Amino acid sequence: MNILKIIKFPSNILRKKSKKVNKNINKKIILDIKNKLFNTMYYNKGIGLSAIQVNIDLNIIVYDVNNIKNFMINSEIIYKNENIYSYEGCLSIPNIYYEVKRYKNIIVKYEDIDRNINILKIENNNLLSSCIQHEIDHTNGILFIDYLSNIKKFLINKKIKKNNKHY
């Protein structure tokens, strides 16, 4: 079982926009990344993971929300509506949880392992919709804490610095 190291905030790696996965990349390499991402996500008790979180600079995400699991290449949200608030955490920012604004209904365009274009429509599944938005944000160098007020960001940075002194 291959478990990869999760990059932790405030690493600049998390701020990189992930590279689009080229059609020429060998399918075996993509399958290996897929398996490592799922293994790492499950090992760390997450529901989603982006490749950039394990220092793989490719636009790839995985998720497993209430047994709805998927692997997406070059994913992008092409439609969103109806605001909701989602209580979120992140494997790259351990022990930090806040409510952030997301969208209840989304349509995502992505490629599967065979590089076929797929359209996924999520309606009225707040956790799944929020998880996918969270992971796609990672591919764009955006963290859930970026949606918070400056005072909350200040408190998070203070808490992280305090926690880092204990290690």
Instruction: Mark the binding-site residues for Fe cation, compressed into ranges.
Output: 90, 134, 138
β-strand pairing of 68-90 with 93-111: antiparallel
Give backbone dihedrals phi and psi of 56, rounded to 5 degrees, phi first: -110, 110
Active site residue 135: yes
HSE value, Cβ hemisphere, 13 Å, CA-based, for 166: 4
Give, in order, the Cα–Cα distances in Å from 82 to each of 102, 103, 125. Answer: 8, 5, 12
**Residue positions forming the annotated binding site:** 90, 134, 138
Q: Active-site residues: which are they? A: 135
